[in-house]
Every structure is written in C-alpha cells, then in structure tokens.
Amino acid sequence: MQNLIDIKGVTHAYRTRHGALPVLDNLDISVPQGEFCAVVGPSGCGKSTLTRLISGLMKPNAGEVWLSGEKITSPRKTVGMAFQNPVLLEWRTIIENVVLPLEIVAPSMPKAQANDRAMHLLEMVGLKGFESKRPSELSGGMRQRASLCRAIVHKPEVLIMDEPFGALDNFTREDLWQTMRDLRAAEPFTAVLITHDLRESVFLGDQVVVLSGRPARTQYVLNVDLPHDRTIDILYEKEAVGMLHVLREQIRIAQGRDGGTDGGAH
Amino acid sequence: MERFQKIAVPLLAIAVFLALWEFVVWINGWPPYKMAAPSDLPAAFIRFQDQFIGMGWQTLWRTVLGLALAVVFGTLLGMVMGFSRVARDALYPLLVGFNAVPKATLVPVIALIFIGQHDFNTVLMAFLISFFPIAVSVGIGLSTLEPEYRDILAALGASKLTIFRKIALPKTLPEFFGALKVSVTLAFIGTNLVEIVSPHGKGLGALFLSGQINSDYPLMFAVLIALAVLGILLYYGVVALERIFAGWAEREAQ
Ligand SMILES: Nc1ncnc2c1ncn2[C@@H]1O[C@H](COP(=O)(O)OP(=O)(O)OP(=O)(O)O)[C@@H](O)[C@H]1O
Ligand SMILES: [Mg+2]
C-alpha cells in the first residue's frame, strides 16, 4: 500500500542565542493511507516541531516530508490541525468556528452547505444544540470536541493533532478517545496524534512511534494489531497491557534511564 | 429596573454635583465675575445658542476627523510593529520619545509651519496627540497573538492578510477599543488646545477665549459644561462602537 505520509530522514535544528539546538535527527516515519499514527516521546524532544514540519508550517534543515506523493514545502489545504488549546475564536459561535477552514479552503461553498457539513460533525461529537453558543459557554471537553470538528470540516487527507486531550481530566479524555474512534470510522483522514498518554496511543493508534530524547530519532515502532472498533475495556486485556509494558520500557530508554529505576537513580 | 437604575444613578449624581456647586457659590457669596453658579448658565447658553451649536460642531468634526486619522495611521503603525520585530525595535523608542513631548509645546510649532491653516492645524494636533495608544495596543495585540491562533489558518495556506482579517484583527479589538477610549479624550484635548490658543479660531475653545477676553464668566463656565457634555458624547460614542464590534468580549456580570 502507498504511504500517505512519508517522513524521510528529517533533521531540524532551531537557531537560538546559544547556537544551534538540534531537535530532530534523521527521523523516519511512514503512515499508510487511512491509518492512525500515535507519536510518544519525552517532553521537549521535538514532537510539536514534528507537527509543524508535517503541516508545512516549517521546512526541515534536511530530509523530506511527503504527503500523498507530493513533497511538502509549504502549507496546503488538505491538512487539518488540532492543539492542546482548542483555540476557538471567542467572537464566533461554535458553528461559525467549525466552518472557519471552509472559508479558506472552499470560499465559494454556499453557506448553507458549509453549515450542513458543520452540523453533521457537531452531531457526531455530541454537540447538537450547542451550535449557536459562544466558546466560553462550553466546558473544556466540549470545546475540544468543537476544535476536532473544525480540524476535519474540510475533509483533510491528514489530521495532525498535538496533544489534543492533554488538558482534560481522565474520564473526559476517555470519552473523547471514543469520539475520535467514531470520527475515524466515519471520515477518511489519515492521522498523526502526538500524545503523552501511552493508553491513548494504544487505544487510538494503528502504530505507535516512540521518539528518543532530544534530538529525536525514531527509537521504536509498535504495531497495534487490535481491531478498529476498540472499547476502553480492551486496554485492560492481556494484549494491550503487554504493549503498554513495552512502550513504558521504551519511554524509560528514551528518557536516558535504565529499565526499572524510573528516575530514582539520580 | 436595571435599565432605570443605569440611567437614573448617573443623572442623580450630576444633579447632586450641580446642587453642591450652586451651594458653594451661594454660601461664599461669590459674584458671577468670580465664579459662576449653575443657575447663571442657562442664560449664557440661550444668549449664545447659535454660537454653541456652530462652534460645538466645529470642535466635534475636527476631533472626530483627527481621531479617524489616528485610527488609520495608528492601526497601520501597530500592524507594522506587530508583524516585524525589526520595525518594533526601530520604532518603539522613537514613538515613546514623541509621546513624551508635552503636546502643548507643539502648538506654536505647528502654528508656525502651517500659518493660518486653522482647521488643518486643529485636526493635525488631534491626530498627533491620539495615535500613540492605538499604535501601541494594536502592536502589542498582534505581537502577543498565540502561535496556535495563527497556525489554524496558516496550516491551510491562508495568506497573512487573511489571518490578520479573520483572526488577529478581531482578537485585538477589545484592546483596540480600550486604547480608543483613551485616544478619543486625547484627541478632544488636542482640538481644544489649538482652538484656545489660536487667535480668530473656531470651535468651543475659541468661544471660551472670547468669554475670557470679554470677562464673561458665565459664558466661560457654560463652555466648560458644553465641553464636558461633548466629551461625554464622544466617549460614549466609542463605547457604543465597542458594544457593536467587540461586544463578545464582555463577560456576563457574575
Ligand atoms: N521557535 C523555537 N525557537 C527555538 N527553540 C525552540 C522553538 N520551538 C521549540 N524550541 C525548542 O525545541 C525543543 C523541542 O520543542 P517542541 O515544542 O517540539 O517539543 P515537544 O516534544 O513538543 O515538547 P512537549 O512534550 O513539552 O510539548 C525544545 O527544547 C524547545 O525549547
Ligand atoms: Mg509540544
């Protein structure tokens, strides 16, 4: 199968006052069409940088990013993004927020059609009846749902998410995992999800990429051979628990610590 | 009830203020040529009715025009400073220095450069004195825009102008109107400054000057009241605009 996302030998460094700060080092990631790639790694290793490179907001110093057979040198309309902060525009209602990308990507689309599309998504994530509210009237979890709708309203090929559930409490987060699972079944996007939560990566990912500490390399790739219609319960079953153990171990290595000591050794 | 309170309370405050003023003048037995009492003012207003309307209009349009220029120029300058670090570093000290100069000292300078151009000088002063807060607020609003706000559109290949129009501009509107409230008062001061010191000038400032020359104290106080009323009108004009364009930023009272 052709890969929809191909990250080949991407290397990047920031220029800072104290000289170059290498962040990504010869990174390789491939995501086949329609698959869900979860990326985990130590804090500050370069995950957000990676999302900005995939979306074309920045160009890597070396290496290439390919999306559906095209080399990325600048942003394109076929990308959707969601962040930890829902970044909803306070002066727009929820539905006006959701249609925002359509105003850029398809300016000639009739308003009614754009609203229909937005309403359809809002219904899917359980926000029916909230479309005319202001973002400040919604809870954090609801805002993040609206933010996800906005990220996919223009049917992007690639959905890039940078810790979208990171600021939510545990139960809300699990709710949103299930929402994400359902969206994924209904919409055709290929996804990259940055996360700090190993359970999240196993629940949602078809593959989990573990990045090493800064500068980040691809340290380990776990294939999650579980059915797509997962339930939260699956995380407590043997197979998933085994994967979580493996990932935990890899994170320890990425953090530069020996297995088992978990930080206490310093 | 709430609406009634909103209107009644300030009116009552004004009434109390006028009563106190009247009382102080009466208890001290000041004659009108020392200090006018509120009861002397209606006569002055009626006597100079046409003057008040004509001159008030002069003051109003020149203030509003100067402010409008300040909004355009201040916003452009703020945009340049907000989007470019280099421009910010270059312009900031200049602007701060310019703002620090007491504007009263500019009046004779302007009057010398543009001799006799009374309208032009007045509008220019209103503009010069009021663009600074607008430039600073727009500049800071743009330069402190969280990158994610930019990225939601930039990731789709939207142009800088689109991002400015759809996100940066509306997002800075609350700060912009905060600055505009300061600027409108400053522009008003700038207009009056030129009107008062220019011989053969126009506007309420000139009317004040003629009151002074003729020792017509009730007229002078009447002008002060007219200025206060006009200042309040201008200020609440800005508040009304703020309600319309940035009403979303207002939180419901808890
Ligand atoms: N614009 C920038 N200029 C200079 N250095 C930067 C810039 N952005 C990020 N960095 C640095 O690059 C490194 C990687 O940052 P990045 O945000 O990609 O990490 P991250 O993996 O997303 O971290 P976190 O897990 O905390 O979200 C950090 O050390 C950060 O300080
Ligand atoms: Mg990050």
Does residue B161 sit within a domain?
yes
Tell me the two tokens of residue B234.
């201008």
Q: What is the DSSP letter of B166?
A: I
**% chain A with pLDDT above 70:** 96
Number of separate domains in chain B = 1
Q: Nearest-CA residue of chain A relative to B251?
A: A136
Chain B interface mutation, best of A104, A137, A150, highest count of B Cβ atoms under 10 Å: A104
Does residue B31 sit within a domain?
no
**Which ligand lies nearest the alpha carbon of A22?**
1
Does residue B20 sit within a domain?
no
CA atoms within 13 A on the CB side of B60: 15
A119 touches B: beta carbon within 8 Å: no
A56 C-alpha vs ligand 1 centroid, how far in Å?
Answer: 17
Is the pLDDT at B140 greater than 80, yes or no? yes
Is the pLDDT at A154 greater than 90, yes or no? yes
A215 upstream amide cis, omega within 30 of 0? yes
User: Which residue has the CA at smallest separation from atom 15 of ligand 1?
Assistant: A46
Q: DSSP states of A24-80 as a string? A: EEEEEEEEETT-EEEEE--TTSSHHHHHHHHTTSS--SEEEEEETTEE-SS--TTEE
Contacts of B195 (CB under 8 A, 6+ apart): B58, B59, B122, B201, B202, B203, B204, B205, B206, B208, B209
Q: Ligand 1: residues whose CB is within 6 Å?
A: A 14, 16, 21, 23, 43-49, 214
A73 C-alpha vs ligand 1 centroid, how far in Å?
Answer: 21
Task: Report the predicted TM-score, pTM, of the whole model to 2 decimal places.
Answer: 0.83
User: Which residue has the CA at smallest separation from atom 10 of ligand 1?
Assistant: A14
Q: Which domain holds residue B133?
A: 49-248
A79 C-alpha vs ligand 1 centroid, how far in Å?
Answer: 21
The dihedrals phi and psi of A187, each to the nearest 5 degrees, come to -115, 150
Does residue A180 sit within a domain?
no
Does residue B41 sit within a domain?
no
Q: How far is CA B60 from CA B66, B128, B233, in A?
A: 10, 17, 10
Q: What is the DSSP letter of B32?
A: T
Does residue A71 sit within a domain?
yes
A31 C-alpha vs ligand 1 centroid, how far in Å?
Answer: 23
The pLDDT of residue B191 is 92
pLDDT in tens, A12-24: 999 989 889 999 9
**% chain B with pLDDT above 90:** 47
Alpha-carbon gap, residue A112 to A98, rounded angstroms: 13
Domain CATH for B167: 1.10.3720.10
Does residue A152 sit within a domain?
no
Alpha-carbon gap, residue A93 to A129, rounded angstroms: 12
Does residue B212 sit within a domain?
yes
Alpha-carbon gap, residue B164 to A90, rounded angstroms: 15
Q: Is B198 helix (H, G, I), strand (E, B) or coil?
A: coil
User: Which residue has the CA at smallest separation from atom 4 of ligand 1?
Assistant: A14
The dihedrals phi and psi of B231, each to the nearest 5 degrees, come to -60, -40
Residue labelled with tokens 């939510």: A168
User: Which residue has the CA at smallest separation from atom 18 of ligand 1?
Assistant: A46
Could you tell me which residues are beta bridge partners of residue A32?
Answer: A3
The dihedrals phi and psi of B239, each to the nearest 5 degrees, come to -60, -40
pLDDT in tens, A62-94: 999 999 989 999 998 999 999 999 999 999 999
Is the pLDDT at A257 greater than 80, yes or no? no
Residue labelled with tokens 């800071």: B140
Q: Which domain holds residue A60?
A: 1-76+194-261
Domain CATH for A228: 3.40.50.300
Does residue B107 sit within a domain?
yes
A70-71: strand order across its sheet: A19-32, A3-16, A62-67, A70-71
Question: B248: burial class by Cβ within 10 Å (0-12, 13-18, 19+)?
Answer: middle
Does residue B150 sit within a domain?
yes
- Which of A15, A48, A61, A195 for a ligand 1 pocket mutation test, highest count of atoms within 8 Å of Cβ? A48
Number of separate domains in chain A = 1
Query: Average pLDDT, stretch A170-188?
Result: 92
pLDDT in tens, A31-66: 999 999 999 999 989 999 999 999 999 999 999 999
Q: Which amino acid is at A188?
A: P
ipTM of the complex: 0.84
- Cross-chain CB nearest to B167 (options A74, A89, A154): A89
